[in-house]
């Protein structure tokens, strides 16, 4: 019995990309050159002003526990960010600093879900969302989404799939793995309808800083009952620091505080002090340049992959992912990804990691490496998949 893990572990799938990543590292150790388009982590380092703030804080001995909900100054800074960037007034008391968006998702779902209650989410989608629900013995209610809704839940889909036990609807805009947005009017309509059913909408905005084109409003402008998840990882370049936040209705904050006290004690103190510098004008300038670099990469990679024969049905407006139908080449995306890795040293993520909606016919490309490396990847793909193209 001791060595048998609980059933919740069986319901959680390991990330298939981890096996590919391990294979890629092995090939690299053998001297092979691998173009990494599988990794959901920006290649940019943490911005220098953030690094300097961290170093200063550590030197000053700011290494003790903070309140479970985070440093007051950081909660205030995040509130200021919502005011400055979105013109939305969010009281700092509704903001909780967390160990990454992962910590925010665990707190948000933990405070909302009874065992057995339903969590509606888009398939394909970020794999951890399903697994948080499994961890809490909630019921995952995946909704297959297609290109016609930009791979997003729509009001019609939410209404059609709503069940008596549905408690939470999870949205992400921009989404992983598709990079697509939910149109603002649709977002507002979904939130309004779900709240009238007595449910709660959680909106993942961790890629909200990485949108190419006009920046849409935050979901926080729609309702004071929505929960928004965000992170210093992706846009702010602080992945390994493990720091993020959530915004929740004021009534849920005491429960979230209790959970955070017990599950985490607090988020990393050096990371919190570092993050204080994330909103400085100098940092935001750097981040804006990086956003432009990601946009350039997208603008190169999207047509190049289409030309090779990948069917990318929706032009992604954000994040750093392209979600491609690869049926022209394979009906087994995992074997396909393995073959590309072994034969031409190009690493991509097979669809299996994102759900059960035709995963064998989809792959995800991440443009988290330099334009030069993406060009090299495309050259290899072109030669292997469309030599006469």
Q: Tokens for 310? A: 């990948």
**Sites for a second copy among residues 108-137 (CB under 8 A):** 110-115, 127-128, 131-132, 135, 137
How many residues bind to a second copy according to rule CB under 8 A?
A: 74
Q: Which is nearer to a second copy, 212 or 320 (CB)?
A: 320
Instruction: Give me the least distance between CB of 113 and a second copy, in Å please.
Output: 6
User: Between 222 and 308, whose beta carbon lies closer to a second copy?
Assistant: 222
Q: What gap in Å lies between CA 49 and CA 281, rounded to an integer? A: 10
In the complex, least distance from residue 352 CB atom to a second copy, rounded to whole angstroms: 15
Kindly state whether residue 2 participates in binding a second copy, applying the rule CB under 8 A. yes
Q: Which residue blocks in 113-252 are alpha helix, DSSP H? A: 127-135, 155-161, 184-196
**Distance (Å, whole) CA 268 – CA 251:** 25
Question: Distance (Å, rounded) from C-alpha 347 to C-alpha 203?
Answer: 30
Q: Among 139, 225, 379, 380, which residue interacts with a second copy (rule: CB under 8 A)?
A: 225
Apex 335 CA angle, 332 and 337, nearest 5: 105
How far is Cα 316 from Cα 295, in angstroms, rounded to an integer? 10
Phi, psi of 25 (to 5 degrees): -65, -40
Nearer to a second copy among residue 70 and residue 150 (C-beta): 70
Interacting residues with a second copy between 229 and 268 (CB under 8 A): 238-242, 249, 251-252, 254-255, 257-259, 261-268
Q: Is 86 in the site for a second copy (CB under 8 A)?
A: no
Closest C-alpha among 75, 54, 46 to residue 274: 54
Cα 322 from Cα 378, distance rounded (Å)? 13
The minimum distance between CB 171 and a second copy, in angstroms, equals 15
- Of 75 and 361, CB closest to a second copy: 75
Q: How far is the CB of 382 from a second copy (least distance, A)?
A: 29
Residue 325: CB partners within 8 Å, gap ≥ 6?
310, 311, 312, 313, 361, 362
Question: Residue 232's closest CA among 103, 92, 125?
Answer: 103
Residues contacting residue 25 through CB under 8 Å, at least 6 positions apart? none
- State the nearest-atom distance from the C-beta of 32 to a second copy, in Å: 20
Please tell me whether residue 41 binds a second copy under the rule CB under 8 A. Answer: yes
User: Tokens standing for 131?
Assistant: 């697994």
- Of residues 308-367, which lie at the interface with a second copy (CB under 8 A)? none
Q: Is 9 among the residues that bind a second copy (CB under 8 A)?
A: yes
- Nearer to a second copy by Cβ, of 62 and 380: the residue is 62
User: Which residues in 180-209 contact a second copy (CB under 8 A)?
Assistant: 195, 198-200
Stretch near a second copy under the rule CB under 8 A, chosen from 103-111, 140-148, 283-291, 377-385: 103-111
Helical (H) or strand (E) element with 349: strand 349-350
> If phi over 0 gives left and psi between -120 and 50 gives alpha, with beta otherwise, what is residue 242?
left
**Of the ranges 40-48, 276-284, 308-316, 376-384, which one interacts with a second copy (CB under 8 A)?**
40-48
Give the shortest CB-264-to-a second copy separation in angstroms.
Answer: 6
Contact track, a second copy, 136-155, x by CB under 8 A: -x------------------
| Greatest pairwise CA separation for the chain in angstroms | 63
Given 20, 35, 66, 169, the residue binding a second copy (CB under 8 A): 66
């Amino acid at each position: 019995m001791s060595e048998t893990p609980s059933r919740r572990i069986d319901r959680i799938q390991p990330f298939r990309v981890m096996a590919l990543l391990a294979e890629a590292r092995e090939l690299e150790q053998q001297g092979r050159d691998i173009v990494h388009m599988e990794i959901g982590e920006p290649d940019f380092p943490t911005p220098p002003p953030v690094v300097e703030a961290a170093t200063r804080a550590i030197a000053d001995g700011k290494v003790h526990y903070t309140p479970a909900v985070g440093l007051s100054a950081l909660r205030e800074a995040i509130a200021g960010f919502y005011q400055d960037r979105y013109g939305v007034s969010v009281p700092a008391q509704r903001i909780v600093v967390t160990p990454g968006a992962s910590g925010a998702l665990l707190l948000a779902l933990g405070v909302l879900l009874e065992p057995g209650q339903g969590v509606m989410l888009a398939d394909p989608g970020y794999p951890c969302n399903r697994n948080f629900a499994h961890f809490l013995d909630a019921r995952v209610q995946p909704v297959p989404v297609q290109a016609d809704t930009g791979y997003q839940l729509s009001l019609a889909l939410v209404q059609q799939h709503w069940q008596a036990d549905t408690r939470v609807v999870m949205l992400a805009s921009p989404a992983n793995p598709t990079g697509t947005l939910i149109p603002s009017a649709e977002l507002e309509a979904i939130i309004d309808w779900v709240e009238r059913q007595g449910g709660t909408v959680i909106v993942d905005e961790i890629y909200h800083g990485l949108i190419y084109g006009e920046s849409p409003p935050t979901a926080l402008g729609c309702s004071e009952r929505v929960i928004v998840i965000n992170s210093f990882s992706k846009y702010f370049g602080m992945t390994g620091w493990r720091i993020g936040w959530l915004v929740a209705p004021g009534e849920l904050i005491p429960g979230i505080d209790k959970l955070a006290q017990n599950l985490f004690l607090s988020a990393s103190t050096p990371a919190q002090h570092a993050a204080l510098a994330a909103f400085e004008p100098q940092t935001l300038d750097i981040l804006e340049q990086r956003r432009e670099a990601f946009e350039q990469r997208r603008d190169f990679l999207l047509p190049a992959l289409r030309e090779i024969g990948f069917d990318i049905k929706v032009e992604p407006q954000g994040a750093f992912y392209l979600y491609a139908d690869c049926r022209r080449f394979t009906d087994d995306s995992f074997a396909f990804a393995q073959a590309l890795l072994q034969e031409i040293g190009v690493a991509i993520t097979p669809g299996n990691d994102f759900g059960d909606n035709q995963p064998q016919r989809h792959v995800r490309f991440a443009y988290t490496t330099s334009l030069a490396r993406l060009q090299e990847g495309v050259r290899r793909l072109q030669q292997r998949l469309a030599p006469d193209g």
